[in-house]
Chains A and B, each alone.
Chain A
Amino acid sequence: MILGFTIAQSAVAGIAGLLCVILALAKRKPNDATFLALGLVEVLLIAQVVVALIAPAVGNPATGNLIEFWGYLITAIIIPPLAAFWALAEPTRWGTLVLGIAALAIAVMVYRMYQIWTVQLA
């Protein structure tokens, strides 16, 4: 993983999550902005797959457990679509909260993935 990209990814997911939580507190139902935010999170996850596949070949191999890393990444990549589907049928602030929860979960998972990728073997 690339540090700069990881930070950006986590930040986007974190901001999207916070945005959705705030909108949910304001009783706003899911709208284009919230779905687009989650869509952006998903796009970045797909990009992360590409980065993770190419990185070892260009001198950036994972020092951590690759099985664990891919476990996290595969889990992460299915969450935004599932969350969007689940939120679509809930046109209330709770639907917005679902999107926020998903985005915040992704933010945490990306951070964990980076830890796994770059783990310093003692």
Chain B
Amino acid sequence: MTKAGIRGLHGPRGTGSTARGAGRALVAVYAILALAATGRSVVQILDRFAEAPVAYSLSALAAVVYIVATIALVARGRTWIRVAWAAIVFELAGVLIIGTLSTFAPDLLGIDDPSPFGRQATVWSFYGAGYGLVPLLLPVLGLIWLRRRSRTNAADASAVDPTDATSGRPA
């Protein structure tokens, strides 16, 4: 596709949805992870919340963050782009912090089962090992994608905006 063709997919300036091209695959992975995290969290809370309330609460939080990230990546508009940034940064911090705690100080999370596939494992435990490290890699890809997208949107805005106040010249 020509550059113009790709830009044309992004919608009004600064508001392009991620739901095109490679972003579509990114959203797919986010959606599947959101579903998996939500399913796991619901089961843990309904079935055995008392076993590890801290870990399971974090599990629920992770699920919510993934859902928000998925929606924010699909929705159009500058606010949603900011929400997407926030959610992805939060989830990266989450997987790094909880990954470290679960590996080196599991008692702080109330976990006594060291297995990433065990009863007490959450999406972020052991850096997402129980999910093929996808929870660790995905936010990195997400941030790279958001940066590319904001650059493309910025290029669109300065290239095609005839009402650009800074230009001072007739369109």
Contact = CB atoms under 8 A, between A and B. Distances in A.
Interface of A: 65, 67-68, 71-72, 74-75, 78-79, 82-83, 86-87, 90, 92, 94-95, 97-98, 101-102, 105, 108-109, 112, 115
A38 B38 CA distance: 23
A119 to B, nearest CB: 10
Interface in B41-100: 42-43, 46-47
A70 B27 CA distance: 25
B28 interface: yes
Contacts of B29: 101
Contact of A94 (B24, B38, B39, B117): B24
A105 B25 contact: no
A74 B39 contact: yes
A98 B28 contact: yes
A67 B43 contact: yes
B35 interface: yes
B170 interface: no
- Give the 4 A-B CB pairs with smallest separation, nearest first: A75-B39, A71-B43, A98-B28, A71-B39
Contact of B25 (A65, A72, A82, A98): A98
Interface of B: 20-25, 27-29, 31-32, 35-36, 38-40, 42-43, 46-47, 117, 119, 132
Contacts of A79: 32, 35
B39 A102 contact: no
B21 A94 contact: yes
Contacts of A105: 32, 36
Given A101-B32, A102-B32, A105-B32, A72 B39 contact: yes
7 contacts: A74-B39, A75-B38, A90-B21, A97-B28, A101-B25, A101-B28, A112-B117
B24 A95 contact: yes
A120 to B, nearest CB: 14
B151 to A, nearest CB: 19
